[in-house]
Chains A and B, each alone.
Chain A
């Protein structure tokens, strides 16, 4: 089991006058399954981009296992142990499924034998039911298969903390089941997962802890049942009383 200690301290992300993330702090210290929810525009994806290094926060710090990672480029953050998927899948289109898997494999383990990395890739593709697509160009994959490929690439990186941005969106129910079992399995492997989804059923079913964002601020953080009855959360979802 990999060490997990992720700590966000008062993260602020401003775009001009717009405060997309407003002093968000939380920490992850055990292999938890954490749901991150919030209405549209709450700042979930922006926060993900800040955590994964695609955006440099205006203010605040992020530590992962003792290393400061805020403002570091994504390839550094990934090496430190935090990986993410994208809301809109970003397959490397004109590369085969296997090449899509080799890129992260070779990037973080340059000294490993390619045959070993390929074997590991086959294992993961098999788990994700897309092993038969190994030599297919990834642009030829269906929407759901691309989601699966992204999850596979993430496993090649073997990060301690995984952020899944809308993994179920637009995916066939049967393939969603594959993603469910993937999440369970990765979690059992001792990794922390932050799951962002509009699929409330899935979030409540899977999560051990819920983080709720609204207007860029963290308004609740705790056990799903407690969060569900939190007045601030209800207000955020049902609208304010004028």
Chain B
């Protein structure tokens, strides 16, 4: 602890935590940019990262919706699905007056994103009078409704086999293709995070937090709660609609299947955000990426036995395949997080780098009762 404290003092005195935080962030970005060039990494590892980026977009946008705006929606995956399915259908069957031939893969994704936003507008409007548990139940029902329609209308959607989207890229070489897909998804994550932060740090972000705290009070303070509630649904729906359209256009996955829209999948998005920190966009993104990575990495755990011990079959390593137990462990982590670190496991780190705790220490007055406050005023009057 002594060393850590000394480092902390040095940082406070010199470079400043915020700058150190940005430097660390830049290093992480550089690492991600370099990663595909690491020849020791397999294409599989890149695929894991690509899906990590996708889930980081899902969780961080959900963090804006639920953590910052207080709209605890279970419909996030459904909006993603709308983006992907509509893109797939538009490219295969055409859209409105457009023929299939005239819809490029980019155009299809654009249409999917717009439709996701439109549905977000309708759902946001329908949710205007609903709060907390009612909002959650409504969005669960909406999400299941969408999934079941996708599953049942197999003539159009391919049912449980899923729907293939028009591939976004046409690159013959597998290695090159994987590399381009990796950069594309990473760039999308960065763009989405910047957009989310831009909203969160604008006055709109302030109004959204006010609505989270008390919608009636916010309205009485002049915040147009109708406009911002709808806006946040449209904005986050478009982000996940876009991400879904791109990810399933053979970037991260070759087809969208209804299974992806199950409540379990939505719960995972929520769990990533909760573990990383629901009220922090970068926390939720990091939580999702790390969780996805760990869930992949622990598919098969090889434990080399020490002291020259061997297994009954003569092997010197023990192979553990946790299977579904990974999710059980993951659930345990989430339970512990909720009980002991409500703001997420990454919150202390983010707070430290932001220097918020110093600001609090320096500027926040000691809590005082009405009596103490009154006594202070009396003293001042004399």
Contacts and interface: CB of A to CB of B under 8 A. Distances in A.
Interface stretch (A25-33, A92-100, A225-233, A234-242): A92-100
A90 B217 CA distance: 6
B369 interface: yes
B370 A144 contact: yes
B110 interface: no
Contacts of B226: 73
B374 A78 contact: no
Interface string B257-289: 000000000000000000000000000000000
A52 interface: yes
Q: How large is the interface on A (under 10, 10 to 19, 20 to 34, 35 or more residues)?
A: 35 or more
A129 interface: yes
Nearest to A107: B222
Contact of B363 (A53, A102, A135): A135
Interface in A84-128: 84, 86, 90-95, 99, 102-104, 106-108, 110, 114
Nearest to B374: A174
Interface string A137-158: 0001011110000000100010
Which of B225, B374, B378 has its CB near the most chain A CB atoms (within 10 A)? B374
Given A78-B222, A95-B213, A157-B221, A103 B207 contact: yes
A94 B365 CA distance: 16
Interface in B225-248: 225-226
B196 interface: no
A134 interface: yes
Interface residues of B, number: 33
A136 B365 contact: yes
B219 A73 contact: yes
Contacts of A135: 359-360, 363-364
B9 interface: no
Contacts of B216: 54, 74, 90
B220 A52 contact: yes
Nearest to B224: A75
B223 interface: yes
A169 interface: no
Contact of B373 (A73, A134, A144, A153): A144
A178 B381 CA distance: 12
Interface in B351-382: 359-360, 363-365, 367-371, 373-375, 377-378
Contacts of A144: 370, 373-374
Nearest to B368: A142
B135 interface: no
B213 to A, nearest CB: 4
B209 interface: yes
A158 B350 CA distance: 37
Contacts of B203: 102, 106-107, 110, 114
Contacts of A157: 221-222
Interface in B49-68: none
A140 B367 CA distance: 7
Contact of A133 (B213, B221, B365): B365
Contacts, number: 115
Given A78-B220, A78-B222, A103 B206 contact: yes
A173 B370 CA distance: 9
Nearest to A177: B377
B222 A79 contact: yes
A178 B378 CA distance: 11
B214 interface: yes
A108 B222 contact: yes
B218 interface: yes
Nearest to B356: A135
A74 B219 CA distance: 6
A171 interface: yes
Interface string B191-220: 000000000000100110110011011111
Contact of A172 (B209, B364, B370): B370
Contacts of A107: 203, 207, 221-224
A146 B104 CA distance: 57
Contact of B225 (A75, A92, A174): A75
Which of B206, B220, B367 has its CB near the most chain A CB atoms (within 10 A)? B220
Contact of A132 (B213, B217, B365): B365
B342 to A, nearest CB: 11
Contacts of A74: 216, 219-220
A108 to B, nearest CB: 5
Contacts of B378: 174
Nearest to B222: A107
A149 B363 CA distance: 18
A92 B368 contact: no
A79 B213 CA distance: 21
B364 A136 contact: yes
A124 to B, nearest CB: 14
A57 interface: no
Given A90-B214, A135-B364, A145 B222 contact: no
Nearest to B223: A107
A107 B205 CA distance: 12
Given A107-B221, A132-B365, A174-B378, A143 B370 contact: yes
- Which 7 A-B residue pairs are closest in the complex by CB-CB distance? A174-B374, A107-B222, A172-B370, A90-B217, A92-B213, A144-B370, A104-B221
11 contacts: A53-B219, A54-B216, A74-B220, A92-B209, A92-B217, A99-B210, A132-B365, A135-B363, A136-B367, A144-B373, A157-B221
Given A133-B364, A136-B367, 16 more contacts: A74-B219, A74-B220, A75-B220, A86-B220, A90-B216, A92-B217, A95-B213, A99-B206, A103-B207, A106-B206, A145-B373, A172-B370, A174-B373, A174-B375, A174-B378, A178-B377
